């Protein structure tokens, strides 16, 4: 516990919860979650267990913001009044601990929220926090939701905590029951996945180390060099990540590289490469033989890519700082385009995404994606392969982009993903689609396109 002064009196408070509150305020003011957490923890010496708790509070409270605000109003004397930013987020933190965690005692959630209000605000508002949280414990059934039959969008948005436009899309695309499963899965704590680096280790060796250290894990269903770690955190970070034996990457992100199937002693370009997850995986699959050109418009973003490649022992990546729409360098055997997208496949990991992305953003991104795919096609050799991939589940950024491209570019055709993956991943058009309620993967899309020779 730390102490702070409130009107001349020393008041105990939890510094981890205080940091979480500061991060939540920054996020609501427009800061990205990772950046907000970095800013509030910079000069604090938190233990790993404290950092995990901090991330649980920040990510969970941010994800569930709409649901928390919905529930809180039932215990306010003036529910229509807008609360000050800090007070609002103290209540959200308290409600999140009461409603969506199972290891924090109710009494601790209440008392720590009151202490935080005393430290950050004043006694009258601390009294309000105390009254509201205790009332929610006494009368949990006071919270009501609209009838899902009458207003399914509002019901799902309030209950699962999503913006209306995303709920509307999911209902139209998937129907009610599957939408519920999808929204529920995105609200679960994200899972960490290690991609084993064949240049330095093997899946069984990494598995043995994890087992010896009591870490629960499972192998990837589609890519055996991916190992899913249970329990949160980054276990054995020094022995595995810093040594270059593994790289943190979701299995869904690896599917695009497997679909590209880069071969040793060939040439490949990753047109939006930073921070290097797909480029390094491709180089490893090429057995460190050939050339991977890694393009990114930001020189600064290429720095971690180079560092990652060095740590993994990769020697065939050539970084190029360039806007990919202006990049010209002959033609390649393999071209990978992973353009900027709405990210709606990663809403389980990017907690602020649901409050920052709009339907207008998707329209804007689709226009950019169309231009990028058109330019990427000019870099493919006759007989070569191009993979278009995203980390979104929105059809306008996926199927529609590819289908429109194929209509205008008759020299390309779909080269079905069925030759690489089973029917659980591949749709009737030969495209790969993953969803978070299936195998706990991030949502993603990728299409393998062949240039006719």
DSSP symbols for 361-375: HHHHHHHHHHHHHHH
- The helix (H) or strand (E) run that includes residue 354 is helix 353-356
CA distance 205 to 296: 34
CA distance 184 to 64: 11
Q: Pick the closest to residue 326 from 365, 371, 364, 390 (CA basis).
A: 371
Q: Provide CATH 3.40.50.150 ranges for the chain.
A: 251-451
CA distance 215 to 213: 6
Q: Pick the closest to residue 188 from 165, 214, 166, 161 (CA basis).
A: 161
Q: Pick the closest to residue 134 from 98, 161, 166 (CA basis).
A: 98
Can you tell me the mean pLDDT for 30-56? 91
43 — pLDDT class (breaks 50, 70, 90): confident
Contact residues for 19 (Cβ-Cβ < 8 A; gap 6+): 40, 41, 44, 46, 54
Asked if omega into 260 is within 30° of 0 (cis), the reply is no
Can you tell me the mean pLDDT for 260-268? 97
Contact assessment for residue 132 and residue 109, using Cβ atoms and an 8 Å cutoff: no
44 — pLDDT class (breaks 50, 70, 90): confident
- DSSP letter at 442 equals P
Quote the pLDDT of residue 179.
97
Chain-centroid distance of CA 244 in Å reads 22
Quote the pLDDT of residue 437.
84
What pLDDT digit, counting tens, does each position of 308-321 carry?
999 999 999 999 99
Contact assessment for residue 33 and residue 23, using Cβ atoms and an 8 Å cutoff: yes
Asked whether residue 175 carries a pLDDT value surpassing 70, the answer given is: yes
Q: Provide CATH 3.30.70.1170 ranges for the chain.
A: 192-248
Asked whether residue 14 carries a pLDDT value surpassing 50, the answer given is: yes
Asked whether residue 55 carries a pLDDT value surpassing 90, the answer given is: yes
Q: Kindly calculate the radius of gyration of the chain based on its CA atoms and give it in whole angstroms.
A: 24
CA distance 450 to 441: 26
Sign, CA dihedral 91-62-238-195, equals positive
Asked whether residue 48 carries a pLDDT value surpassing 60, the answer given is: yes
Q: What is the reported pTM? A: 0.92
pLDDT averaged over the chain? 94
Quote the pLDDT of residue 6.
42
| CATH node for 2-142 | 1.10.940.10
Neighbouring-strand partners of residue 387: 336, 448
Question: For domain 192-248, which CATH number applies: 3.30.200.20, 3.40.50.10470, 3.30.70.1170, 3.90.1150.10?
Answer: 3.30.70.1170
Percent of the chain whose predicted confidence (pLDDT) is above 90: 89
Contact assessment for residue 280 and residue 308, using Cβ atoms and an 8 Å cutoff: yes
What pLDDT digit, counting tens, does each position of 182-235 carry?
999 999 988 899 999 999 999 999 999 999 999 999 999 999 999 999 877 889
Q: Provide CATH 1.10.940.10 ranges for the chain.
A: 2-142
Tokens of 329: 């360098």
Contact assessment for residue 341 and residue 256, using Cβ atoms and an 8 Å cutoff: no
Q: Pick the closest to residue 388 from 438, 335, 439, 447 (CA basis).
A: 447
CA distance 53 to 232: 10
Quote the pLDDT of residue 8.
41
From the number of C-beta atoms within 10 Å of its C-beta (0-12, 13-18, 19+), residue 326 rates as exposed
Sign, CA dihedral 72-78-84-87, equals negative
What pLDDT digit, counting tens, does each position of 374-419 carry?
999 999 999 999 999 999 999 999 999 999 999 999 999 999 999 9
Q: Which CATH superfamily is domain 251-451 in?
A: Vaccinia Virus protein VP39 (3.40.50.150)
438 — pLDDT class (breaks 50, 70, 90): confident
Place of tokens 């054995």: 236
Asked whether residue 79 carries a pLDDT value surpassing 60, the answer given is: yes
Asked whether residue 369 carries a pLDDT value surpassing 70, the answer given is: yes
CA distance 126 to 362: 41
293: three-class secondary structure by DSSP: strand
Quote the pLDDT of residue 2.
56
Neighbouring-strand partners of residue 332: 380
The region of weakest confidence among 153-157, 365-369, 420-424 is 420-424
Can you tell me the mean pLDDT for 364-376? 97
| Residue positions counted in the chain | 453
Helix axes 106-120, 15-28, angle to 10 degrees: 70
């Amino acid at each position: 516990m730390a102490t702070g002064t409130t009107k001349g009196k020393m008041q105990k408070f939890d510094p981890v919860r205080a940091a979480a509150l500061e991060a939540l305020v920054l996020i609501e003011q427009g800061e990205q979650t990772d950046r907000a957490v970095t800013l509030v923890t910079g000069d604090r010496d938190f233990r790993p267990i404290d950092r995990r708790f901090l991330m649980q509070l920040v990510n969970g409270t941010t994800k569930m913001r709409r649901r928390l605000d919905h529930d809180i109003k039932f215990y306010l004397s003036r529910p229509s009044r807008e609360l000050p930013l800090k007070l609002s987020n103290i209540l959200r933190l308290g409600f999140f601990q009461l409603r969506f965690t199972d290891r924090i005692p109710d009494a601790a959630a209440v008392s720590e929220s009151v202490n935080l209000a005393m430290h950050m605000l004043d006694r009258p508002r601390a009294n309000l926090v105390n009254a509201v949280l205790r009332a929610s414990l006494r009368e949990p059934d006071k919270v009501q939701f609209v009838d899902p039959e009458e207003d399914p969008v509002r019901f799902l948005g309030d209950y699962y905590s999503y913006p209306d436009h995303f709920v509307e899309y999911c209902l139209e695309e998937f129907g009610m029951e599957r939408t519920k499963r999808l929204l529920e899965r995105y609200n679960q704590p994200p899972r960490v996945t290690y991609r084993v680096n064949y240049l330095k280790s093997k899946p069984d060796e990494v598995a043995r180390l994890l087992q010896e250290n009591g870490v629960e894990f499972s192998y990837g269903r589609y890519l055996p060099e991916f190992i899913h770690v249970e329990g949160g955190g980054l276990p054995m970070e020094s022995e595995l990540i810093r040594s270059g034996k593994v790289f943190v990457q979701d299995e869904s992100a690896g599917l695009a590289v497997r679909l590209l199937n880069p071969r040793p002693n060939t040439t490949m370009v990753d047109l939006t490469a930073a921070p290097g997850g797909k480029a390094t995986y491709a180089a490893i699959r090429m057995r460190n033989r050939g050339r991977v050109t890694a393009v990114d418009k930001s020189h600064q973003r290429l720095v971690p890519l180079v560092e990652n490649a060095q740590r993994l022992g990769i020697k065939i990546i050539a970084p190029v700082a360039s806007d990919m729409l202006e990049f010209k360098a002959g033609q390649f055997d393999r071209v990978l385009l992973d353009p900027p997208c709405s990210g709606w496949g990663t809403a389980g990991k990017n907690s602020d995404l649901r409050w920052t992305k709009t339907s207008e953003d998707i329209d804007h991104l689709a226009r950019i994606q169309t231009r990028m795919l058109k330019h990427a096609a000019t870099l493919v050799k006759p007989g070569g392969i191009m993979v278009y991939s995203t980390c979104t589940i929105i059809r306008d950024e996926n199927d529609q982009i590819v289908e429109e491209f194929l209509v205008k570019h008759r020299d390309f055709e779909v080269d079905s993903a069925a030759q690489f993956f089973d029917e659980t991943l591949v749709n009737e058009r030969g495209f790969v689609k993953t969803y978070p309620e299936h195998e706990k993967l991030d949502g993603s899309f990728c299409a393998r396109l062949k240039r006719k020779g």
